[in-house]
Chain A
Amino acid sequence: MALRGVWQLKKLIVSYCDWGGSSRGIRAFMESELPTFKEKNPQLEVVTELIRGQHPHLKGFYKNKNERVVCVKNMTPEDILLYGTRLRNALGRKVVKLKTRHVTKHPSVQGTWTTDVKF
């Protein structure tokens, strides 16, 4: 996501294994989808990383110094793209249950109503 027009995801690490079967999808993803994904997101630093013998994952580093890891073993390239864009679309805040769906600094324009207010 982008907070006031500033993209929050700074860096995306795509880790994969060149041998394992669970990395089959991500290898296809790196061939087909990753170049266009990189092109569409010039603000984003995309790094591929080879870790042999491990399941593949995506790791996002956010501007607020949070990081988020998504396991993508045995997924199809489309699914992996979906998870990649989800990481990009997120703000990197901690996932907590929302107390309210309306966040404001100025709760009232015409004055807060109290029992004393007479019209």
Chain B
Amino acid sequence: MAHRRCLLSLARYATAIISQKKMPPLSAVEVLTRKPNPAITIPNSELSWFSLWSHSRHFSSSKSEDSETEVEVEMEEASDVEAEHDNAASDLGRDYSPVEKEAEAAAIGYKVLGPLQRSDRVFKDYEPVFAVVQIGSHQFKVSNGDSIFTERLKFCEVNDKLILNKVLLLGSPTQTIIGRPILPDAAVHAVVEEHALDAKVIIFKKKRRKNYRRTKGHRQELTKLRITDIQGIEKQEIKTDGKPLKAAVKNPEKIAAAV
């Protein structure tokens, strides 16, 4: 019953508002007189207010008794923000032009080169060179032959070749190059090996004494990359890498001996 009464009062206010709305400027007095109403009516009243006024924000601003122009500006901003949100939503609905795809990929830190061909000999033996690369918000210390699991990368298929271009650090047994924060002319080459789902994670929510339990499963999408090459540390280094290889083999023995 109380509910119905509220609805009735609401309807009355609604008609009143519609009639008032036609008069252009809302004086502060009007706002003040109307202010108690939303407090009395139940939450669903806000909904109808919202649909009538198209912005619930008006309340918060009218409480502070701002000048009318400011309120309007705020409302415009709000609608702008909403429009942006709509755009973002439509973007998520996978309509990317190739340029946009490239930009997105660059923001994450990779560039797609195209599918791996049969004739490509990209898989090489291990070289004692490492790099720290950033993919999304994760950083990996990789050397060639490593495999890493990243969050699923968009716009790339299994067997595509990638260039990871956010290289933060390069190192060999004799040399270390540190980026500030990235090395623009360094590149790490990788091949997409797998798009797979991680093991299932169970999200279990429970509230004590309230007979409330929710169970939800989640499987994260991952991409497995294999690092094929690291570029940017000089060719000389790679040439001299033959010697350091032996040295590197010897060194651990020394260290072991020292320990």
Closest chain-A Cβ to B122's Cβ sits at a distance in Å of 8
Q: Is there contact, CB below 8 Å, between B171 and A5?
A: no
Q: Knowing A103-B148, A106-B145 are in contact, say whether A90-B194 is a contact too (CB < 8 A).
A: yes
Closest chain-A Cβ to B248's Cβ sits at a distance in Å of 7
B47 part of interface (Cβ distance < 8 Å): no
Q: Is there contact, CB below 8 Å, between B158 and A102?
A: no
Which B residues between 182 and 227 are near A, CB-CB below 8 angstroms?
Answer: 191, 193-200, 222, 224, 226
Pick the contact of A105 from B123, B126, B259 — CB < 8 Å? B126
Pick the contact of B196 from A3, A89, A112 — CB < 8 Å? A89
Q: Knowing A89-B158, A106-B145, A109-B128 are in contact, say whether A1-B196 is a contact too (CB < 8 A).
A: yes
Q: Is there contact, CB below 8 Å, between B193 and A110?
A: no
Which A residues between 63 and 119 are near B, CB-CB below 8 angstroms?
Answer: 86, 88-91, 95-98, 101-106, 109-112, 114, 116
Point out the residues of chain A lying under 8 angstroms from B138, CB to CB: 101
B contact residues, total (Cβ < 8 Å)? 44
Q: Is there contact, CB below 8 Å, between B148 and A114?
A: no
Q: Nearest residue in A to B141 (C-beta to C-beta)?
A: A102
Q: Is there contact, CB below 8 Å, between B143 and A98?
A: no
A2 part of interface (Cβ distance < 8 Å): yes
Point out the residues of chain A lying under 8 angstroms from B1, CB to CB: none
Q: Is there contact, CB below 8 Å, between A86 and B193?
A: no
Point out the residues of chain B lying under 8 angstroms from A111, CB to CB: 248, 251-252, 255
Chain A residues within 8 Å of B, Cβ to Cβ: 1-5, 7, 86, 88-91, 95-98, 101-106, 109-112, 114, 116
List, sorted by A's number, 18 A–B pairs whose CB atoms are closer than 8 Å. Answer: A1-B194, A1-B195, A3-B193, A5-B116, A5-B120, A5-B122, A86-B196, A91-B193, A91-B196, A97-B198, A101-B150, A102-B149, A103-B146, A103-B148, A104-B145, A104-B147, A111-B251, A116-B259
A-B pairs, 6 with minimum CB distance: A1-B194, A101-B149, A97-B199, A89-B195, A104-B146, A109-B130
Chain B residues within 8 Å of A, Cβ to Cβ: 116, 118, 120, 122-123, 126, 128-130, 138, 140-143, 145-150, 158-159, 171-173, 176, 191, 193-200, 222, 224, 226, 248, 251-252, 255, 258-259
